[in-house]
Amino acid sequence: MSSVRHDWHIGEVLELFALPFSDLMFQAHQVHRANFPANEVQVSTLLSIKTGACPEDCGYCSQSARYDTSVERERLLPLEEVLASAQRAKETGATRFCMGAAWRNPTDKNLEVVAEMVQGVKALGMETCVTLGMLQPHQAQRLKQSGLDYYNHNLDTSPEFYGQVITTRTYQDRLDTLDAVREAGIHVCSGGILGLGETRKDRARLLQQLANLKQHPDSVPINDLVRIEGTPMSDNPKLDPFEFIRVIAVARILMPQSYVRLSAGRTEMSDETQAWCFFAGANSIFYGDKLLTTENPAENHDRELFKRLGIECEAPKHHSHAHASLHG
């Protein structure tokens, strides 16, 4: 039922999507229980350490310098401010602190500053994750030396639809960065965004790409598009919640041992949709009031929802067991 495969055919993935909803939920939940505690969710907090002025043209992003959005350009945050945010996140229950910078790719000089942040957050006893854009192999090695646990770099969508979303970097660029991260011995966090205008086949192809990597991503964030005024995708129609839940379920079946994370877009999801996502195999969330530049449900709302559902937050893992730990 939950053996790990890396040879999924698109027809098989589409067959899963086409199952009656209850059948898909039943299968996904069985896979989930076979690999994870059924009522436990890993909690991460995400901080934008450098906001805006990104040269990329990602059609969904408020931080692109090409679009007129309400996001202000900001410099890289000072170390003390980042560590204070990490401490607050730890106190409210997060076990991993993720730091995002709006760069196409970091300079080696900027990377040294981020490496210092990683070391500081690790010293607080938290797991660390960064997302900084494309990386060269030597940069991935430097982050590994600093003690980085996870690197996030999403594939976003299918290879076929990708050019409708971004033209300033290729799909292969993204795969190359994932290779560099994995080669350096850092856990991979990679997923995508739904509601970009893609078809169901594109959603299936995204999951197929992730599941057929040599090693599955340790964490698979699934984002529901946050439609931001000023971006080309601000008027995209909202994705049907049942289709979103299906993506979570298929991700769980294809990547049985990966953490599947409910990421951006949770503010617009009902509690019922989120509950179905947890049942279907989502077992990680971002916690806190903001995700980079977009709103996130208030921490007390998440705590209340967990209480209503009987869900516990995953406890911090010892770093000697890093690979079995909460991924992403």
- In eight-state DSSP terms, residue 64 is B
CA distance 278 to 209: 23
Pick from 325, 280, 286, 278: nearest CA to 306: 278
Whether 54 is catalytic = yes
Catalytic residue, chosen from 96, 129, 142, 203, is 129
| Total residue length of the chain | 328
Catalytic residue, chosen from 61, 96, 252, 266, is 61
Phi-psi region of 94 (alpha: psi -120 to 50; beta: other; left: phi over 0): beta
Whether 313 is catalytic = no
Whether 261 is catalytic = yes
Catalytic residue, chosen from 189, 203, 252, 277, is 189
Catalytic residue, chosen from 203, 261, 266, 277, is 261
CA distance 69 to 83: 28
Task: State both tokens at 200.
Answer: 């169901």
Task: State both tokens at 234.
Answer: 């601000």
User: Are 152 and 191 spatial neighbours (Cβ–Cβ below 8 Å)?
Assistant: no
User: Are 148 and 99 spatial neighbours (Cβ–Cβ below 8 Å)?
Assistant: no
State the CB neighbour count (10 A cutoff) for residue 44: 28
- In eight-state DSSP terms, residue 38 is T
Task: State both tokens at 226.
Answer: 């946050």
Residue 30 CB-half CA count within 13 A: 9
Task: State both tokens at 143.
Answer: 């982050």
Whether 58 is catalytic = yes
Whether 277 is catalytic = no
- State the catalytic residues: 54, 58, 61, 98, 129, 189, 261
